[in-house]
Amino acid sequence: MGSLTGKRALITGGASGIGEATSLLFAKEGAAVAVVDTDAAGGRRVASAIQSQGGRAIFVRADVTQPDDCRNAVDKTVSALGGLEILFNNAGIIRRASITELSEEEWDRVMAVNVKSVFLMSKQAVSVMTEAGGGVIINAASGWGLVGGPRAAAYCASKGAVVLLTKAMAIDHGPQNIRANCICPGDTDTPMLREEAQQLGQSEESFLQQARERPLQRVGTPEEVAEAVLYLASDSSSYVTGTALVVDGGGLAG
């Protein structure tokens, strides 16, 4: 308890799934949290849950594909919480389709939410962190950013880009005492995973059953992934930068 005491964190996609679980865990560990999302009702709910437990939290509505929204989110975080030491670029979407099935608009949207947002948010955060003497950036990639998957062309491309963008950021900003890492979750029981079933025309139960086909024989929970994000955000990983941490129940092991 208290591994993030005194830290200020901004979490995109913080209204549900892994973002929600991480927001709650960070607050439990002592961080003040800015919950950033387009979902105002969900974001306010998460911020209120933190406040009800005696934590500090704000909600900022932002479309992380828009430069002005990203700038505003960082500015409001610094103004309301007093600084910014941790950025978790978690916002993401998936479109299950091959390149022949994808429209150009769908491709652009996936790349904007999953990759461009990391660039835009990190660009703002790095300036603040550099002035403050350092910080930590964690980006949400995926196991499918390390290996390919079926009917997920744009998603795989976007998450592969996040992995290498993270490594480049680690090289560029290490001298400013800014660590950059990414997590690569496997199938995790979130609203996005269940949306995949709908996109593929499968029942949720049959889809989740397929997702359980890994050494641990189950899907992960948002809370389990949040624990990995906490490790990368905390001083426990003080010499870790430029890495892609796989959290997938052994799905990529074989």
Mean pLDDT to the nearest integer, 33-60: 98
188 has pLDDT over 80: yes
Element (H, E) at 167: helix 153-173
Q: How many domains does the chain have?
A: 1
Q: What is the mean pLDDT of residues 26-40?
A: 98
pLDDT confidence bin for 254, thresholds 50/70/90: confident
76 pLDDT exceeds 90?
Answer: yes
Give me the pLDDT at residue 183, please.
98
The answer to the question of residue 93 being in a domain is yes
E strands, 38-193, are: 57-61, 86-89, 135-140, 178-185
Banded pLDDT at 7 (limits 50, 70, 90): very high
Could you tell me if residue 253 is inside a domain?
Answer: no
- The mean pLDDT of 163-168, rounded to a whole number, is 98
Domain span holding position 60: 8-187+224-240
Res 226: pLDDT? 98
Left, alpha or beta for 30 (phi > 0: left; psi -120 to 50: alpha)?
Answer: left
246: enclosing H helix or E strand: strand 244-247
**DSSP, residue by residue, 27-60:** HHTT-EEEEEES-HHHHHHHHHHHHHTT--EEEE
Please report whether residue 54 resides in a domain: yes
Assess whether pLDDT exceeds 90 at residue 70: yes
- Tell me, what's the pLDDT at 211? 84
* Residue 1 falls inside a structural domain: no
Residue 138 has pLDDT above 80, yes or no: yes
Q: Rounded mean pLDDT of 198-216?
A: 89
- What mean pLDDT is reported for the chain? 96
What pLDDT score was predicted for residue 1?
Answer: 60
Catalytic residues: 155
Instruction: Report the distance separating Cα 162 and Cα 158, nearest Å.
Output: 6
Q: What percent of the chain has pLDDT over 70?
A: 100
pTM of the model: 0.97
Residue 112 lies in a domain: yes
The pLDDT value recorded for residue 197 is: 87
Stretch 153-168: mean pLDDT: 98
Whole-number pLDDT of residue 9: 99
133 phi-psi bin (left φ>0, alpha ψ -120 to 50, beta other): left
| pLDDT at position 208 | 85
| Residue 53 banded pLDDT, cuts 50, 70, 90 | very high
The verdict on residue 13 lying in a domain is: yes
How many CB atoms are located within 10 Å of the residue 93 CB?
16
Q: Does 38 map to a domain? A: yes
CATH number at residue 63: 3.40.50.720
Kindly state whether residue 254 falls inside one of the protein's structural domains.
no
pLDDT, mean of residues 185-191: 94
**pLDDT above 70 for 88:** yes
